[in-house]
Amino acid sequence: MNNTRSCSIGPQAVLTVDAACKTFADGPTVLDSVSLRIEPGSFCVLLGASGSGKTTLLRSVIGLTPLDAGFIDVGGVKLSPRTMRNLRRNVGMVHQDFGLSARLTAAQNVMAGTVPDLPMWRVLFQAYSKSVQDRACGLLAHVGLEEGHVNRPVSGLSGGQKQRVGIARALINFPKLILADEPVASLDPQTAQDVMGLLRRCAEEQGAAVLCSLHQINLSRTYADRIIGLREGRIVFDGPPSQLSQDMLARIFGAEREGFSLSMAVA
């Protein structure tokens, strides 16, 4: 395909991944020379089956999973051990299993996104400044959490509410790029729609680009500006949802294999 390799590095890209490779010690190759470029403000979905390398790609962008080869560039800053912490500060991330500390309150979880800039004693006593507290409350209200939930441990929230808190945390540092790793994997279909809609709306208001991994085809079609199909660590499709034909889906999900029906992937 032409567009898998069309990565000339330009200053306007919010994220550039160039020839990313990753093989785990005891497993298969999860990323096989993946290159892509995300434009500011766009909503991109990484579509693929389990094990296609979506999570590894997202984690490698902020160095949670180090790459074997290739490089990452976020907003003009190349990822390296020296730049990593600074780079992470400018990227918001929404996690598959929410990644919230269950015993901390919703507000504490959101404010935790600001700790890299804080002195140790403020972290120790979770003493956040008034402006951070106000911003956390504003964000929680914005993502649709009720006031009564703000100071309650997140363990008491429903899955949908937890992911709303997760989105609020991803937004607290005014990121220009939001990574979302299967943000709705553990939610029911209706809640999944709500949360995807919220993620898209928030990103638009913030002017942030989103790179979101999904395995649901319907949600990808509904919310994405651009879909990147991953299969066995390679990009096999890259284009707007309108170009995502049955043939392309078969290519992404490996439907040409015997005994596999596409409805399984759609469901």
Partner 1 sequence: MSESAVTGRVDAAHWRVRPAFGWKTVLTVVVAFVLLSVSAHRIELHRLSSQLGEFLQASVGLKESSQIGRGIGSVTQQMYPIAIAERTPVSLIDDFDPARLPLFSRLETERVEESALDPETMQMTTTTVEKTFLVEPAGYLTFTLGKMLETVEMAIWASLFAVLMSLPLSWIAARNFTPHSALYAIARSFISFLRAVPELISALFLVLAFGFGAIAGILALALHSVGFLAKFFAEEIEAADKVPQDAVRATGAGDFAVLRLAVLPQVLPSYTALSFYILDRNIRMGTVIGLVGAGGIGQELKGRYDMFQYDHVATILLIIFLSVLTLDALAAKIRHKLI
Nearer to partner 1, 43 or 98 (CB): 98
Looking up tokens 């190349």 gives 78
In the DSSP assignment, the letter for residue 176 is: S
Contact 24, 68 (CB under 8 A): no
Looking at the Cβ atoms of 16 and 60, the one nearer to partner 1 is: 60
List of residues contacting partner 1 (CB under 8 A): 59, 62, 64, 84-89, 91, 93, 95-104, 108, 112-116, 118, 120, 123-124, 126, 166, 169, 173
Contact, 72 vs 20, CB < 8 A? yes
CB of 191 to partner 1, least distance (A): 19
Judged by beta carbon, residue 7 or residue 115, the one nearer partner 1 is: 115
Residue nearer to partner 1 on the CB measure, 13 or 58: 58
C-beta closer to partner 1: residue 127 or 266: 127
Cβ 229 vs Cβ 52: under 8 Å: no
| Count of CB atoms situated within 10 Å of the CB of 6 | 11
Instruction: Pick the closer one to partner 1 by CB: 48 or 166.
Output: 166
Q: How far is the CB of 240 from partner 1 (least distance, A)?
A: 29
Give residue 45's identity as a one-letter amino acid code: V
> CB of 179: closest distance to partner 1 in angstroms?
8
Residue 260: both structure tokens together: 């596999």
Instruction: Please classify residue 31 by burial: count the beta carbons closer than 10 Å to its beta carbon, then call 0-12 exposed, 13-18 middle and 19+ buried.
Output: buried
> Up-side HSE of residue 59: CA atoms within 13 Å toward CB?
15
Q: CB 97 → partner 1: shortest distance, Å?
A: 5
Enumerate the β-bridge partners of residue 127: none
Shortest Cβ distance from residue 6 to partner 1 (Å)? Answer: 28
Minimum separation from the CB atom of position 132 to partner 1 (A): 13
Cα-based angle 213, 52, 18 (whole degrees, multiple of 5) = 75
